[in-house]
Amino acid sequence: MREAYRTKRPPSWLARESIAKLLIPLFFCLGALVLYTSLYQARLLPRFIAVWGLAAVALVLAFNLFSLTFEFDLSVALIFAPPIIVNEIFMGIRLIVRGFNVSTAAPKPAGGKVPLASGGTRPMFFTSKRSRSRLHARMKP
């Protein structure tokens, strides 16, 4: 009686499953490549983290491309996955503890002037320790 209520999966479901098995890791790898490339160029984190991430993404991408033609066990996947897993955990902990390298995050404009949307410029605040100390002295009650 229960078999009458069970429905068989249509063949189109199998096609969608095989496409999903390909696209999910592919988009993960593309996103990770964009992330680690931009971290490398912007120098927001030490470069060894970005290089480590790029190498780990290359391993994951190679595994996924090889898995299209060859059948691998889980033990083989466990060889290729740990570098990216450890990298992302390390990067997360480092960002929580130390944050970004702020000196490269927002470069100061040349000439000490900040451009305005109206086309003019205004003096940049906090250009020296002296101006910061003056402002803090004025703010004290």
pLDDT at 126 (0 to 100): 45
Would you call 114 helix, strand, or coil by DSSP? strand
pLDDT at residue 107 greater than cutoff 80: no
93-96 long-range contacts, CB within 8 A, separation 24+: 94/45, 94/49, 95/45
Q: What is the mean pLDDT of the chain?
A: 76
- Per the CB < 8 A criterion, the answer to whether 112 and 127 are in contact is yes
Give the pLDDT band (50/70/90) at residue 139: low
Q: How confident is the model at residue 27 (pLDDT cuts 50, 70, 90)?
A: very high
C-alpha dihedral sign at 101, 103, 108, 110: negative
- Look up residue 138 and give its two tokens: 């004025």
| Pairwise CA distance, residues 66 & 85, whole Å | 20
- What is the identity of the amino acid at 97? V
pTM here is 0.62
Comparison of pLDDT for 10 and 47, the residue scoring more: 47
Copy the structure tokens of residue 25: 């890791």
Residue 112 has pLDDT above 70, yes or no: no
Q: Where are the domains of the chain?
A: 11-107, 110-141
Tens-place pLDDT, residues 43-74: 889 999 999 999 999 999 998 888 878 887 88
Using 50, 70 and 90 to split pLDDT, how confident is the model at 117? low
